Amino acid sequence: MAFTFQINNDVVWDYDENLLERAEANIPELIETKVCPTGIVERISADQRTNEFTLAKSQKNILHLSDYALGRGESLILDLGDHYVGHFSIEINSVGSPMDAPLYLRLKFAEVPSELYAASEDYDGWLSRSWIQEEHVHLDVLPAKLQLPRRYSCRYVELSVIDTSPKWKASFSNPLFVAESSVSMNQLSDSTIEDAELKAIYNVSVKTLQDCMQTVFEDGPKRDRRLWLGDLRLQALANYYTFNDLFLVKRCLYLFGGMRTTEGKIPANVFTAPELTPDDTFLFDYSLFFITTLYDYVQHTSDYDALENLYPIAKKAIDLALEQVDSEGRLVLSEEWPVFVDWSNDFDKATAGQAIVIYTLKRFIKLAEMYNDQQHSNYHQMLEKLIDFSKQALFDNKRKQFVVEETNEVNLASQVWMVLAEVFDSNKNKKIMQETIKQHFPITGIATPYMYHHIVEALFMADCQEEAIRLMKDYWGKMIDLGADTFWEAFKPEDLDFSPYGSPILNSYCHAWSCTPAYLIGKYLLANE
Ligand code: RAM
């Protein structure tokens, strides 16, 4: 089971106005920064390039931009010098004879060069092509200042003149990108990372997080531009070790708390415009992450007011999830409420799902204790049952690995989540991860930094620090080698063009769940110094 479009028209929503008011009271004011392009770049021809992540520096000088007037079929690419999220404007004039026809212009905004190499019209994937950051505009009268209303997430802006007339050309000047985020790099304290590779990974993680921090923690400022629970959990963790913007986490927790189904199910994501709207998409593990995100937040902030307000919602959410656990302590998943774990469909997620319930229930019990819930002993019994079942029915002593009950399948995600859930003690977890390295490394077939995050964290937790650092460098470091300014939603080192959507033009190249090295480095490497 994996993520696909869900349409659940019969869901009845329960809006809690009191909680939603608290969410709205914490809307941040966005910080604006003016960015001027730093250069002009060009495509590299197919026979000259080794991958689609590089462009060549142009001979053209950005300081003389207005001299490079463009006629029919001509284009140039502005380079902002880094990845930003915000609004673009540019002044345009006509040069030559009088303007005897409108200017027909295409603007394309790209986070990485591969979006420029891909022809938009060839896209035939399953997600909407409306995500492609591209505009076609007519300007009847020049000079004019073109101020585009849409927000873009990009480093490159391509200006392509579709047509002028043989009598005149279009000349461009004063391109300006006004970048937006709810946080500023000035809020960071100096990090003391000596290892150059890790420092670079840390910096790109922080930039990724910054660009995703808007009026909510967005999953991707290019796509899907909304608040997903699974992404929020990881962004909040990275935020605690970096910007430490507690209001934005609080806002997002209240948004989920204020919009759930009448039975108490928490949606996988919510929209905030034109009005607060929950999406009719439900992922079993994402619903549970409301509880773990609340736990992390209360632990970090001691905000007992939030605990008071949101604990009843967390309790309903765990109760609903535990209804899926049978009398032997086995999680029985359903098609209507699938567990996500990763984009890949090539492995069975049942055992990882079981571990996520244990991981969450442990944290819920701590919340129940903080809240002084008198009824929490039932949860302890349930936890024991889930753990006993996992140890007895799901752990294969000979293979030293967790299996999937029905098929005996041994997969990476099962080991990783069972280690994160601390089903066994640290000694045994270390042996499980050492065996995991033997059996499943080098990793193939995993395309999300989301899953890689969990693998690295499991390695750190199982005292395999060297391997954890190696994997971080091999995976996130490889994106940097390819030129990443921010970390990508999907990346398969063994298949650079991989996209879950049928074309890289739809991939998000600044994605929430990829920002976690800032947390991993902060928690497991810097905190110990
Ligand atoms: C995609 C996005 C999002 C993620 C979901 C499950 O739509 O990448 O960030 O959480 O999948």
pLDDT in tens, 6-48: 888 899 999 999 999 999 999 999 999 999 999 999 999 999 9
CA distance 387 to 329: 8
| pTM for this model (two decimals) | 0.97
Closest residue to atom 8 of ligand 1, CA basis = 489
Tell me the CA–centroid distance for residue 450 and ligand 1, in Å: 10
Phi first, then psi: give them for residue 52, nearest 5 degrees: -100, 25
Name residue, tokens 């024991």. Answer: 384
Q: Rounded CA gap, 136 and 497, in Å?
A: 27
Amino acid at 455: I
* Secondary structure element (H or E) that encloses residue 136, with its range: strand 134-139
- Rounded to whole angstroms, the Cα distance separating 441 from 508 reads 26
Nearest CA to ligand 1 atom 1: 224
If one residue of 233, 489, 510 were mutated to test the ligand 1 pocket, choosing by the most ligand atoms within 8 A of its CB, it would be 489
Q: How far apart are CA 158 and CA 161, in angstroms?
A: 10
Rounded to the nearest angstrom, the distance between the alpha carbon of 238 and the centre of ligand 1 is: 18
Question: Could you tell me the two tokens for 450?
Answer: 């989301």
Q: How far apart are the CA of 229 and the centre of ligand 1, in A?
A: 9
Helical spans, DSSP H, in 372-515: 377-393, 412-420, 426-440, 449-461, 465-481
Which pLDDT belongs to residue 3? 58
Site to probe by mutation for ligand 1, drawn from 153, 222, 224 as the one with most ligand atoms within 8 Å of Cβ, is 224
Calpha distance 517→468 (Å, rounded):
11
Q: Which of 1, 3, 282, 287 to mutate to test the pocket of ligand 1 (most atoms within 8 A of CB)?
A: 3
DSSP structural state of residue 267: P
Pick from 186, 184, 179: nearest CA to 32:
179
pLDDT at 80: 98
140 backbone dihedrals φ, ψ, rounded to 5°? -80, -30
Q: How many CA atoms lie within 13 A of 216 on its CB side?
A: 26
Ligand 1: residue whose CA is nearest its atom 9: 219
Closest atom of ligand 1 relative to the 269 alpha carbon? 10
Determine the Cα–Cα distance for residues 264 and 251; give it in Å rounded to an integer.
19
Evaluate whether 201 touches 474 at the Cβ level (below 8 Å): no
**d(CA 70, ligand 1 centre) in Å:** 39
* CA pair distance 391, 428, nearest whole angstrom: 12
| Residue-level length of the chain | 529
Nearest-atom index, ligand 1, CA of 219: 9
Answer whether 175's CB lies under 8 Å from 145's CB.
Answer: no
pLDDT for the residue 528 = 59
pLDDT for res 1: 38
Task: Using alpha carbons, select from 135, 218, 212, 146 the residue that is nearest to residue 179.
Answer: 212
For residue 32, the number of C-alpha atoms closer than 13 Å in the C-beta half-sphere is 8
pLDDT tens-digit profile, the chain (529 residues): 345 788 888 999 999 999 999 999 999 999 999 999 999 999 999 999 999 999 999 999 999 999 999 999 999 999 999 999 999 999 999 999 999 999 999 999 999 999 999 999 999 988 999 999 999 999 999 999 999 999 999 999 999 999 999 999 999 999 999 999 999 999 998 878 999 999 999 999 999 999 999 999 999 999 999 999 999 999 999 999 999 999 999 999 999 999 999 999 999 999 999 999 999 999 999 999 999 999 999 999 999 999 999 999 999 999 999 999 999 999 999 999 999 999 998 999 999 999 999 999 999 999 999 999 998 889 999 999 999 999 999 999 999 999 999 999 999 999 999 999 999 999 999 999 999 999 999 999 999 999 999 999 999 999 999 999 999 999 999 999 999 999 999 999 999 888 888 888 999 999 999 999 999 999 999 975 5
Ligand 1 centroid–CA 278 distance in Å is 15
Pocket of ligand 1 (CB under 6 A): 3, 219, 224, 228, 230-231, 340, 489, 513
Q: Which of 6, 219, 287 to mutate to test the pocket of ligand 1 (most atoms within 8 A of CB)?
A: 219
For 266, counting Cβ atoms within 10 Å of its Cβ (0-12 exposed, 13-18 middle, 19+ buried), the class is: buried
CA of 68 to the centre of ligand 1 (A): 41
Cis ω on the peptide bond leading into residue 274 (within 30° of 0)?
yes
From 313, 314, 319, 310, select the one nearest 378 (Cα to Cα).
319
The alpha carbon dihedral of 242, 248, 252, 253 has a sign of: positive
Give the N- to C-terminal CA distance of the chain in Å, as an integer.
42
SS3 content of the chain, % helix, strand, coil (to 5): 40, 20, 40
CA angle, 392 as apex, 386 and 395 as ends, to 5°?
100
From residue 177, how far is each of 45, 148, 316, 509, 512 by CA, in Å? 28, 10, 45, 18, 22
Supply 195's token pair. Answer: 């290892």
